[in-house]
A and B are shown apart, each in its own frame.
Chain A
Amino acid sequence: GAGVSQTPSNKVTEKGKYVELRCDPISGHTALYWYRQSLGQGPEFLIYFQGTGAADDSGLPNDRFFAVRPEGSVSTLKIQRTERGDSAVYLCASSHGQGYGYTFGSGTRLTVV
């Protein structure tokens, strides 16, 4: 596609529920990244995929967070047992590779009530 697509754009869920956030990167981009942006803050790194494998998942805050990219294209960020502190905008980005800079999607705004 022309840009990075993220769905849904907004998600409201109850505390304790499970959510999945989807990212469709730019076709041909091998690198895919997830970031989280809390209100008034800069984006914080969560995880980086190179192809199908997670090359760096050191930013995931705890084991409730998990992400997959089974075919090296679309990625899903999964959050189990959501907490109110998980409320944020989740950003996905993709890149051709080293040094090219990222193209970000518009994000998914997650609200846990």
Chain B
Amino acid sequence: AQSVTQLDSQVPVFEEAPVELRCNYSSSVSVYLFWYVQYPNQGLQLLLKYLSGSTLVESINGFEAEFNKSQTSFHLRKPSVHISDTAEYFCAVSDTSGSRLTFGEGTQLTVNP
């Protein structure tokens, strides 16, 4: 079984500031790791994923996450945030069969002008 801990339930930042949303996971087997974003009144959207290979993965809108096996972490970062990045962000893990995701409780990112 896997578990996910998102260390911050709320992260307020100012526009153009850098941000890091923290995610730690626990698993006894190899994992796939994901970040999903949920904008207000919308469904979950896949932001980025780590399956294998390079430990640094990037999204099309400037977010990146790094898989750190020794620290069992998959923190999400962006060097400069926009107002439009305001959303709830969920970290998730699955085993390599991909049959089910285990989600963290989410981090609400609020970008203020």
| Closest beta carbon of chain B to A28's beta carbon, Å | 17
**Known A42-B90, A42-B104, A45-B100: A99·B44 in contact at CB below 8 Å:** no
Report A-chain residues with C-beta under 8 Å of the C-beta of B49. 99, 101
Is the Cβ of A104 less than 8 Å from the Cβ of B43? yes
**Digit string of B22-44 for contact with A (CB within 8 Å is 1, else 0)?**
00000000001010100000111
Bound form: Cα–Cα A99–B99 in Å: 9
- Interface assignment of A95: CB less than 8 Å from any CB of chain B: yes
Give the contact-size bracket for chain B: 20 to 34
**Digit string of A22-44 for contact with B (CB within 8 Å is 1, else 0)?**
00000000000101000011111
Is the Cβ of B44 less than 8 Å from the Cβ of A43? yes
Is the Cβ of A102 less than 8 Å from the Cβ of B45? no
User: Most B CB atoms within 10 A — which of A42, A97, A98, A99?
Assistant: A42
Is the Cβ of A102 less than 8 Å from the Cβ of B46? yes
Is the Cβ of A102 less than 8 Å from the Cβ of B101? yes
Is the Cβ of A101 less than 8 Å from the Cβ of B90? no
Bound form: Cα–Cα A107–B42 in Å: 9
- 25 chain-A/chain-B pairs, Cβ below 8 angstroms: A35-B101, A41-B105, A41-B106, A42-B6, A42-B105, A43-B44, A43-B103, A45-B100, A45-B101, A45-B102, A48-B100, A55-B99, A56-B99, A56-B100, A98-B96, A98-B97, A98-B98, A99-B49, A99-B51, A99-B96, A99-B98, A100-B98, A101-B34, A102-B44, A103-B46
